[in-house]
């Protein structure tokens, strides 16, 4: 182990050191390629930003992707609202049940329900809360997946110069098959 460390240290010490000429700074060329990973990362960090990134990279004349951003936030907002609403009701029902078990009088909000009714409502709102947690995750993942798919289609060619022909092919082992030939011009 010591020999390995000594060898690594000696290699590090004998490296050639070069000074950089500060007057010869060459500006780096800006990378203009559209990155699918960037679109997915942007959309994962801030929902909708991947769609905006894809919109900025779209060539003129193509459908724009920015119209999806309000739909994403509407989906996240609606599922988030119902998640919070059901969680609040679930907590209120649990507090009411515990209060009744302690011998207190029922509150005005839940005075029409007996203890079993409170437990059933608690179970219903807990299930709904769990369902909206899954729905919120689904909308979020749908946002990320949409940004990735849309990023693939930024440079997708849908011009009239595409053709396809289907024709039978004779294989080497004398079996008949069907082949597809795509001509891109």
Least Cα distance to 110 among 86, 124, 93, 135 occurs for 93
H helical segments located in the chain: 2-13, 36-45, 49-57, 68-101, 115-152
Please give the radius of gyration of the chain, using alpha carbons only, rounded to the nearest integer: 31
63-77 residue pLDDT tens: 777 888 999 999 999
Report residue 20's pLDDT band, with 50, 70 and 90 as the boundaries. Answer: low
Angle between helices 49-57 and 68-101 in degrees, nearest 10: 180
Residue 107 to residue 113: CA distance in whole angstroms: 10
C-beta of residue 76 within 8 angstroms of C-beta of residue 142: no
Long-range contacts at 33-40 (CB < 8 A, ≥ 24 apart): 34/151, 34/154, 34/155, 35/151, 36/148, 36/151, 36/152, 38/151, 39/147, 39/148, 39/150, 39/151, 40/144, 40/147, 40/148, 40/151
With 60 as the cut, is the pLDDT of residue 16 above it?
A: no
Tokens 């609040």 correspond to what residue?
88
Q: Which residue has the higher pLDDT, 52 or 12?
A: 52
What Cα–Cα distance (Å) separates residue 181 from each residue in 17, 97, 162? 56, 70, 11
**What's the whole-model pTM score?**
0.66
Residue 92 to residue 17: CA distance in whole angstroms: 70
33-73 residue pLDDT tens: 788 999 999 999 999 999 999 888 887 767 777 888 999 99
Report residue 5's pLDDT band, with 50, 70 and 90 as the boundaries. Answer: low
Using DSSP's 3-state secondary structure scheme, residue 29 falls into coil
């Amino acid at each position: 182990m010591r020999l390995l460390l000594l060898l690594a240290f000696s290699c590090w010490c004998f490296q050639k050191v070069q000074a950089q000429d500060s007057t010869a700074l060459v500006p780096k060329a800006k990378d203009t390629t559209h990155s699918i990973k960037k679109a997915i990362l942007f959309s994962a960090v801030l929902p909708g930003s991947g769609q905006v990134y894809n919109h900025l990279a779209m060539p003129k004349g193509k459908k724009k992707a920015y119209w999806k951003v309000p739909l994403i936030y509407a989906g996240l907002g609606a599922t988030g609202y119902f998640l919070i609403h059901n969680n609040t009701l679930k907590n209120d029902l649990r507090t009411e049940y515990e209060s009744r078990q302690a011998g207190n009088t029922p509150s005005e909000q839940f005075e029409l329900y007996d203890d079993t009714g409170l437990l059933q409502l608690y179970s219903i709102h807990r299930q709904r809360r769990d369902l909206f947690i899954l729905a919120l995750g689904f909308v979020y993942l749908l946002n990320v997946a949409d940004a990735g798919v849309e990023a693939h289609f930024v440079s997708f060619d849908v011009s009239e110069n595409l053709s396809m022909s289907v024709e039978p092919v004779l294989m080497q082992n004398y079996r008949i098959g069907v082949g597809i030939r795509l001509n891109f011009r």
